[in-house]
Structure formats: C-alpha cells, structure tokens
C-alpha cells in the first residue's frame, strides 16, 4: 500500500466518511472508491462496492480489471445514550472500547457534564431535537436511561421512526408497560413498539451500574451480530 493511500484512509476515517479500498491481490495495485460517488465506475464494480459498504462486508469481486479485494472502511457504529445517569458512565466507556462512537443526550445540564463523561460527545438539547440532528441509521443503537417520560418518550418516538438497529429502554416491567401504553396512545402500533428492548439488557442478573452496562452492551451486540434471533 502506498503511504498516500493510507493517509487518505485515515483522513476519511477521521472525517467519518465511508471509503472502500480496492486492491488487486495479484499485483498490489490499489485505489480508493467512495460508496456515495459511484457514478462513472464500471457497473459490476460499482454494484459490488455499494453492496459491500451497505452490508459492512469486505470481500472479493471479479471485475474486467481482475479480481479485486474490497476492504470496507465504514464510519464507526454509533450509540446514543439518553440520560447522563450513573449507568451511562460505564456504558459510554465500554461501548467506546467495542468501537462505538458514543453520544450522550440529557437536557439536564447538571448530569451531562464533561467531568462525568470525559471524551464523550454530549448534547444538552431535548432528545427529539438532538436525534433529529443525529439521524439514527441502521448502524446506530439508542438506549434511554432516565425513566423520565418527559425525556425518554420523545427519544423513543424519534428512534422508532428511524432504522436504528437497536432500541432499549431502562425501567421495570411495570414502567415499561406504562411506557408502551403511552406510545400506543401516541399512535405507535404494537409491532413498532416491539422493537424496544425493555426491561433493557440481557437477563444476567446485573446489579451494579457497570454490570447493567455489560448486559446492555451484550444485548446491543446480539442485535448487531444476530439481527434475526
């Protein structure tokens, strides 16, 4: 690989721009292809690059110019945590280790401080406004942790209208049932609200904030890697 190619990939990753490195494994010849700018590319290659980026799946493709290895560099997975509460602290750190770009949303500015969440992107906007800007996509997970309907509900409503691959909401079964009742009154169907994982996290008997964070991150991982189970 040329140093210039490596530098460009690093620049694209820093800018959170998807890029695909196409390498001819027989010759080492390489070039960078941008999945959002496929016009003018050989159609077979364009389709393969588009699929690889969409599925986040690197692989080989036979083209008129030979067999190419397509190495996908997608922007990181994203985790949006609504509620800058105690559980959010270990969750933000663990999720960052697992490769997530973490954003914490909490309009209560006493909770959402840089001291409590060093190095994490923080928004003190209301969740519906913050999520309108963040635009959760199929590589985004959203978790609400406040138990406060004023904060959690707008976040859930915005997330249910998005293709986010995971949505979870902290709260007891009773809290969750009340939440579902409100969302159904607001016009969401049972099929739609069935996307919400509540009570949140895998059932591993987690008690401490860090353990609950493990349970949540494990469930997010399960949805990411085994989406149909």
Partner 1 sequence: MSDDVLAQATIWKNAGKRVALATVVTTWGSSPRPVGSQLAIDESGAFVGSVSGGCIEGAVVQEAIEAMKDGKPRLLDFGVTNEQAWEVGLACGGKVQVFVERLE
Candidates 33-41, 51-59, 173-181, 206-214: pick the segment binding partner 1 (CB under 8 A): 51-59
Which residue from 59, 9, 73 is spatially nearest to 1, judged by alpha carbons? 9
Q: Which of residues 150-169 bind partner 1 (CB under 8 A)?
A: none
Which of 72, 95, 130, 196 contacts partner 1 by CB under 8 A?
A: 72
Candidates 56-64, 80-88, 119-127, 173-181: pick the segment binding partner 1 (CB under 8 A): 56-64
Q: Nearer Cβ to partner 1, position 10 or 109?
A: 10
Which of 69, 101, 195, 222 contacts partner 1 by CB under 8 A?
A: 69
Which residue from 24, 92, 17, 18 is spatially nearest to 56, judged by alpha carbons? 18
DSSP 8-50: HHHHHHHTT--EEEEEETTT--EEEE-TT--TTS-HHHHHHHH
Buried b (16+ CB within 10 A) or exposed e, 14-24: eeeebbbbbbe
How is residue 154 written in tokens? Answer: 């707008």
Min CB(121)–partner 1 separation in Å: 19
Q: Nearer Cβ to partner 1, position 113 or 221?
A: 221
Q: Which of residues 5-34 bind partner 1 (CB under 8 A)?
A: 6-7, 9-10, 13, 23, 25, 27-28
Q: Does 58 bind partner 1 (CB under 8 A)?
A: yes
Q: Please give the residue ranges that form the binding site for partner 1 (CB under 8 A).
A: 1-3, 6-7, 9-10, 13, 23, 25, 27-28, 57-60, 69, 71-72
């Amino acid at each position: 690989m040329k140093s210039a190619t490596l530098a460009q990939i690093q620049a694209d990753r820093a800018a959170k721009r998807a890029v695909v490195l196409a390498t001819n494994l027989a010759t080492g010849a390489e070039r960078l292809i941008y999945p959002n700018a496929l016009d003018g590319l050989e159609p077979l290659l364009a389709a393969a690059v588009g699929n690889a980026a969409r599925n986040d799946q690197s692989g080989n493709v036979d083209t008129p110019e030979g067999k190419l290895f397509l190495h996908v560099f997608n922007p990181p997975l994203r985790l949006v945590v609504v509620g800058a509460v105690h559980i959010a602290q270990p969750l933000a750190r663990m999720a960052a280790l697992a490769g997530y770009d973490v954003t914490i949303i909490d309009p209560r500015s006493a909770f959402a401080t840089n001291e409590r969440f060093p190095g994490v992107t923080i928004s003190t906007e209301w969740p519906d406004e913050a999520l309108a800007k963040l635009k959760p996509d199929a590589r985004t997970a959203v978790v609400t942790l406040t138990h406060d309907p004023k904060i959690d509900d707008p976040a859930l409503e915005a997330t249910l209208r998005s293709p986010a691959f995971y949505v979870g909401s902290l709260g007891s079964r009773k809290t969750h049932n009340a939440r579902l009742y409100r969302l159904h009154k607001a016009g969401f169907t049972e099929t739609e609200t069935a996307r919400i994982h509540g009570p949140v996290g895998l059932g591993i008997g987690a008690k401490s904030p860090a353990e609950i964070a493990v349970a949540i991150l494990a469930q997010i991982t399960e949805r990411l890697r085994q989406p149909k189970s």
